[in-house]
Amino acid sequence: MAAITAMQYSEEFGSCTDMVPDWTTKEVSTGTTIMAVEYNGGVVIGADSRTTTGAYIANRVTDKLTPIHDRIFCCRSGSAADTQAIADVVTYQLGFHSIELDEPPLVQTAANLFRGSCYKYREELTAGIIVAGWDKRRGGQVYTVPVGGMLVRQPVSVGGSGSTYIYGFMDSNYQPGLTKEQCLELTAKALSLAMERDGSSGGVVRLAAICESGVERQVILGNKLPQCSSH
């Protein structure tokens, strides 16, 4: 009798997993829009702040601009756990490297450390990284480390799920020789446009300008974002 009752209950209500929302089993993702732009004397980096697990927004105000050293940052896209782990490892390695040299590390060194980890664990990790910063040898630099572990230096780089919506915008509006203020404005507009179109990007816009004198950070709240569309 008990077996029959259990069978009837199972048929009527289904298994327990059927009643659990699907986002609880999804990986936490920084499905995202990140970008970095070089200017004469430094770099500007920016990112949205939405973290998702499937269709569920897990965090609206994530900080995806992660400091690696005093004047070196990375922008993270992909799996939140994977990118945080890689950033922690590189921060640790770069700190020791700086102590051994007794001077600040190079941005290219940081980018190569990211490339090494992303390539070595390319089958296990989902991580797209933009490394940007300033050093006394080469000034402001932007390096892209996409999923798989390739490394390339670019004057401007965009990444994440929202980047596909703004390639045309960047092609039309970016040009060499922009000032810091122009780069900040361009980055804010590009991120706002991506956040409007991409369901995995949203929240606030976080910006940072990195140069010889240090790092200047700012946040643009959702109601202060540039309006890019007519509706």
| Catalytic residue positions, numbered | 32
Q: Which of 105, 104, 107 is nearest to 132 (CA)?
A: 107
SS3 73: strand
Give the strands of the sheet with 127-135, arranged side by side.
65-69, 72-78, 127-135, 139-145, 152-153
CA–CA distance, 76 with 74 (Å, rounded to integer): 6
**Which residues is 135 bridged to in the sheet?**
139
Instruction: Tell me the residue type at 154.
Output: Q
State the maximum Cα–Cα separation within the chain, in Å, rounded to a whole number: 81
Q: Are strands 205-211 and 42-47 parallel, antiparallel or unpaired?
A: antiparallel
CA–CA distance, 30 with 202 (Å, rounded to integer): 11
